[in-house]
Amino acid sequence: MDGSHVYNAAIRNVRDKCGVEITKDNIASRCKTFDKHYEIISKILSQSGFGWDWENDKLLIDSDDVWNRYVEANKAAACYKTKVVKNWEAISTIYSKDDANGEGARTGVESAQPAPEEVEEVSPDMPQKRL
């Protein structure tokens, strides 16, 4: 399955709700743009001296010195000093799930072992439930 049904649904939705004709290429291009924004901005925000201005939809930067040092090592970020990026919360929610971070990673030996059963304590008077 190539996912064309998802593109078709998105195209219909935008046409019906916004009155705008778009194509699969428009959607793919926008996704690529959002992916680039996420990659660059999340890397910036992981560094000390940066935050997000939720009112103005752009980076908060502690000082020009902090920015200049960062851009010296990360040239692709240069245009983000004043760039407005609408919907950052949605972009970061969607794209953060694609990044592998090692959380929950297990070795082959760990994966072969059955997971321990969790027990939830309800109250001292009630029997415990298995999850």
82 belongs to a structural domain? yes
| pLDDT above 70 coverage of the chain, percent | 73
Confidence (pLDDT) at 112: 52
Strand partners, 51: 60
In sequence order, the 6+-apart residues with CB closer than 8 A to the CB of 34 are 91, 94, 95
Burial degree of 100 (CB within 10 A; 0-12, 13-18, 19+): exposed
Q: How many domains does the chain have?
A: 1
Q: Which domain holds residue 10?
A: 4-96
Confidence (pLDDT) at 96: 86
Average pLDDT (43-57) is 97
**pLDDT, greater one: 117 or 83:** 83
70 belongs to a structural domain? yes
DSSP category for residue 24 = H
CA-to-CA separations, 53 to 42, 43, 57, 82, in angstroms, rounded: 14, 16, 6, 11
Average pLDDT (42-47) is 97
